[in-house]
Amino acid sequence: MEINIENKLFYDGKNDGRIRRRLLEMKELGLEQVGHGHFGVPNIMGGLYIEKVWGYDDIQFDEYLEFVKELISEEIAYKKLNELNPNEIELLKKATKHKCKHI
């Protein structure tokens, strides 16, 4: 399910601007909400809980997004181009264009 950046449960009341930017960045990269306060890329990876979005410093967060980009690229690279579905092609485009903010 698409990340709803307006969901008040995602915010801690302390760093709402930073959290909003991070949720937008995750959404732009292609991450989705895969559980309650749990984000990932369906059929590729899961495991980023909202607590990590809150707690990672800027470099840790960017390193995590770089890790996600690598997973997306590796997963899609194993498939032949003609076997990719439109969602996977869009996800690959997002991953290759995305630039982390702090690395």
Q: Which amino acid is at 59?
A: I
Mean pLDDT of the 50-73 span: 90
Q: What is the pLDDT of residue 2?
A: 92
3-class secondary-structure state, position 49: strand
* Rounded distance between C-alpha atoms, residue 91 and residue 14, angstroms: 31
The reported pLDDT for the residue numbered 84 is: 75
Q: What is the pTM of this model?
A: 0.74
Read off the pLDDT band of 75 (50, 70, 90): confident
Please check the confidence at residue 79 and state whether its pLDDT lies above 70. Answer: no
